[in-house]
């Protein structure tokens, strides 16, 4: 797992390469318990179960949008920015790689046909209310 930090030592993002989670036969959460977006890789042995359940509602104040990108096919060239809009790093995401963005920003270039899954906390009020473009 690669952790990307800003200039004051806060985690901005982390990358899970496919080798970080494939083959693991455990239940492992990569997020801290207090984070709004919880992320883990869970292995369940054949014949086991997750008991039916409902998640309880919680009252959460203003929160930072967090985002997860999972590369299904192709390649993503990612630039990760700190909250000060300065570049922290540039990296290449390949099939099976997962980017978890906790704060700051990002930009993506797709050198070939690429399919990703994007997961983030809501609500979504349209592009103009959701994103601030970094020039």
- Does 118 map to a domain? yes
Query: Which residues form the domain of 12?
Result: 2-44+61-130
Q: Can you give the pLDDT at residue 67?
A: 93
- Does 74 map to a domain? yes
- Does 114 map to a domain? yes
- Tell me how crowded residue 69 is: count the other CB atoms within 10 A of its CB: 21
- Does 56 map to a domain? no
pTM of the model: 0.86
- Does 54 map to a domain? no
Residue 112 DSSP one-character state: S
Q: For 81, list phi and psi in degrees, rounded to 5.
A: -115, 150
Q: Can you give the pLDDT at residue 109?
A: 97
Q: Tell me the CA distances in angstroms from 107 to 3, 18, 78, 79, 80, one per residue in order.
A: 17, 21, 6, 5, 7
10-residue averages of pLDDT along the chain (135 residues):
93 90 83 85 91 88 86 96 95 96 95 95 76 84
- Does 15 map to a domain? yes
Beta strands in the chain (DSSP E): 2-5, 11-16, 27-29, 40-42, 67-73, 76-81, 87-93, 98-101, 105-109, 115-120
CATH of residue 115's domain is 2.60.120
Q: Can you give the pLDDT at residue 19?
A: 85
- Does 113 map to a domain? yes
Q: Can you give the pLDDT at residue 131?
A: 78
Domain count, the chain: 1
- Does 51 map to a domain? no
């Amino acid at each position: 797992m690669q952790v990307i930090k800003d200039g004051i030592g806060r985690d901005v993002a982390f990358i899970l390469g496919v080798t970080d989670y494939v083959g693991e036969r455990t239940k492992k959460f990569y997020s801290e318990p207090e984070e709004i977006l919880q992320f883990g890789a869970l292995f369940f042995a054949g014949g086991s179960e997750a008991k039916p359940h409902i998640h309880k509602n919680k009252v959460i104040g203003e929160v930072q949008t967090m985002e997860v990108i999972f590369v299904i096919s192709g390649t993503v060239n990612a630039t990760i920015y700190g909250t000060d809009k300065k570049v922290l790093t540039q990296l290449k995401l390949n099939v099976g790689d997962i980017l978890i963005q906790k704060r700051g920003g990002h930009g993506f270039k797709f050198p070939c046909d690429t399919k990703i899954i994007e997961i983030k906390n809501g609500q979504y009020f349209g592009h103009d209310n959701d994103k601030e473009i970094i020039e």
